[in-house]
Structure 1
Amino acid sequence: MKSIVVYCGSSPGTNPLYKEVARELGEKFVENEIRLIYGGGNIGLMGAVADAVLSNGGQATGVIPNFLAALEVAHQTLTELHFVETMHERKFKMVQLANGVIALPGGYGTFDELFEILTWRQLGLYDGPVGLLNINGFYDLILQQLDRMVDDGFLKAEGRELLMVAETADELLDKMKNSWEQER
C-alpha cells in the first residue's frame, strides 16, 4: 500500500487525544512510506495529520473544492494540492489516488465520506481496504448500529466485514496491509 486516504474532522475536537492520534497516524505513514491523501485543509485533525507527515519528511496530497479552500484554509505546503469544483469530485479524486481509506473522528463530512466509500466497496466500485481508527471509543455507537443492521437484515455480514476497526494506528495499518496483500 503506497497511499491511503484519511477522512477526518476539520475541527480538532474537544479531546486532545484525537489530535495526538492524528499526528501519530501521520508519523506511521512516513515510517511505512505511505503517501497521505486527504481533504487538503490545514486546520483540525486534517491539518494535524498532514503536518505530521510533512514534518517527518513524508508525502501529502490534498484535494479541496474551490469553495472550501478559503473556509478550511487550504494547506499551502503540501507535496501536491488539487483544486476541484464539488464535494463529489473531491471524494472521487481522493480514492482514485489511494490504495486504502482510514477514517478518524469527525463530523457529518467524515461520516458521509466513510459510508459512501463503504457503499462503493460493497458494490465493487472501489477495491481498497477501509479502516476505522476508533479512538477513545468514538465510533462505538456507529459500530453497534452496523451490527444492528446485520441483525435486522439490512446489511449482510460480508458487508459488515468490509470495515476494519482498530484502536491503534499500528493495528489498523497491519490489518489493512494484510487485506491488501491477500486481495492482490
Structure 2
Amino acid sequence: MVWKITTLASKNLHEVGLLNVDGYYDSLLGFFDKGVEGGFIGPSARKIVISARTATELIQKMEDYIPLHEQVAPSHSWKVEGCNGNL
C-alpha cells in the first residue's frame, strides 16, 4: 500500500478520499503515518489520502483540498533503462 500512495502521487493524482466510518481505517492510516516517519512515504504523498468519519465531512475536506506539490516523484526516478518493459 505504501507503494500505491507514492505511485498515485507520482501520477499527479492529488487526492484520494477514504470514508473512515467508526474508525475502521484507523490502523491503515496509522500505517501510512509510520511510512512517513520511516521515510518510505513523503509527507506530501501522505497528504493525498484524505479521511473523514462522515460522507459530508469527507466531501467538504475533498472540496477544500489544495495540492501541496506538482509531482511527488519525478518520472525519471522510477524508470529502468534497458529492460524493454520486462522486469
**Shorter-normalised TM range:** 0.5 to 0.7
Q: What are the ranges of 5 or more consecutive residues in structure 2 without an aligned counterpart? A: 68-87
Q: As a proportion of its length, which structure holds more strand?
A: 1
2:39 alignment partner, SS class: coil
Count of aligned pairs between the two proteins: 66
Q: In structure 1, how many angstroms separate the alpha carbons of the residues matched to 2:7 and 2:13? A: 5
Offset at residue 119 of structure 1 (A): 3.8
Give ranges in structure 1 of 5+ residues lacking alignment: 1-111
**Of 101, 106, 123, the match for 2:10:** 123
Output aligned runs, 1:1-184, within 5 Å.
Answer: 116=4, 118-127=5-14, 129-179=15-65, 182=66
Task: Tell me how far 1:152 sits from its aligned partner.
Answer: 1.0
Distance across 1 between alignment mates of 2:26 and 2:64: 24
Q: Higher relative CO (CA 8 A, sep ≥ 6), structure 1 or 2?
A: 2
Q: State the alpha-carbon separation in 2 of the partners of residues 154 and 120 from structure 1.
A: 12
Q: TM-score, normalised by structure 2?
A: 0.63
